[in-house]
A = this chain, B = another copy of it.
Amino acid sequence: MSSAPHTPPPSPSAASSAAAADARYVLTLSCPDGTGIVARITGFLAEIGGWITDAAYHSDTETGRFFTRQEIRADSVAMDLEELRARFGAVAGSLDAETFHVTRLGTGQERRRVVLLVSKEGHCLYELLSRWHSGELGADIPVVIGNHPDLEPVVRLFGLPFRLIRVPADADGKAAAFAEIRAEVERHDPDAIVLARFMQVVPPELCEAWAGKLINIHHGFLPSFRGARPYHQAYARGVKLIGATCHYVSAELDAGPIIDQDVIRVDHGDSPADMVRRGRDIEKAVLARGLTWHLQDRVLIDGLRTIVFA
């Protein structure tokens, strides 16, 4: 498949594209906390001449774990991704790191890829496609998969491929449909798979296969109002704030690690339909924010919790 149509056209916002063009290495790591860790890591970066453009640390006093994210200018170190990964891996090993990652954020072949899954509600799709088109997303969208044809015109509007895969209600049909979805998703080797108001429960084996890459926007303030029709649940319960939650998907429904949340105030004058309408603004903002952080390796997962170096 040619990658041409998935890269946005020359962006009208030249500035943001220009900023994205500066290649960076991002190094993240989690390890047992202790003394001297920051000294060890910053010492390593000083040693290889790394020009740090963004650095963040977190010592979790509850779990006794340490987390860091370091962003350095790619042109400041005289080595390629493989070598940097190997050398940082040695540091990580000496710290008994549980996880460590090195990524190159940049342009061309290195651009990140996002696959979207949608159903009928379009506001999150418009938001992500607009950000893709303007260059603000900083990633390619090789395909949008829908289980309904409703949003195909929106995807075509932006000149992107739309793939319709209907999901039948019966178990066999469903299994076959998700096998097809899986094949379509995986042939693009995406860095993120986004459920942009996709109204089907993703099977557990896919949640597992895509763990840490599968991102959902839930139109409720989790852990309240899991499952279907959260705004109607919120109305019935009489809450005074409604919310949206961007989270990694795990096998348990609406119970994966939360990346970001936001709320707006409602009152007795807001019907469920008003909540649905007003909630769209926060859903799309929270999803876009969470996805952007994920694509920049700003989110480290720690069990049910996330460390977000925003």
Contacts and interface: CB of A to CB of B under 8 A. Distances in A.
Interface of A: 9, 12-13, 16, 19, 35-36, 38-39, 42-43, 45-46, 49-52, 55, 57-62, 67, 120-123, 126-127, 130, 133-134, 136, 150-151, 153-154, 157-159, 221-225, 235-241, 243, 257-258, 260-263, 265, 267-269, 271-273, 277, 281, 285, 288-289, 302-308
A272 B19 CA distance: 14
A258 B281 contact: no
Nearest to A281: B285
B157 A133 contact: yes
Given A35-B46, A52-B59, A261-B240, A130 B127 contact: yes
B235 A258 contact: no
SS of A interface (majority): mixed
A287 to B, nearest CB: 11
Residue among A39, A302, A307 with max Cβ neighbours from chain B (10 Å): A39
The count of identical subunits is 4
Given A236-B305, A241-B262, A281-B285, 6 more contacts: A16-B277, A57-B57, A60-B271, A67-B268, A223-B225, A240-B258
B154 A268 contact: no
Contact of A157 (B59, B150, B157): B157
A236 B306 CA distance: 11
A62 B59 CA distance: 28
Contacts of A269: 58
A50 B58 CA distance: 17
B42 A238 contact: no
B265 A265 contact: yes
Contacts of A9: 153
B19 A273 contact: yes
Nearest to A276: B15
21 contacts: A12-B153, A13-B121, A35-B46, A36-B42, A39-B43, A43-B43, A55-B59, A62-B235, A123-B136, A127-B130, A222-B237, A223-B224, A237-B258, A237-B305, A238-B258, A238-B303, A238-B304, A240-B261, A241-B243, A267-B308, A268-B302
Contact of A38 (B55, B134, B285, B307): B55
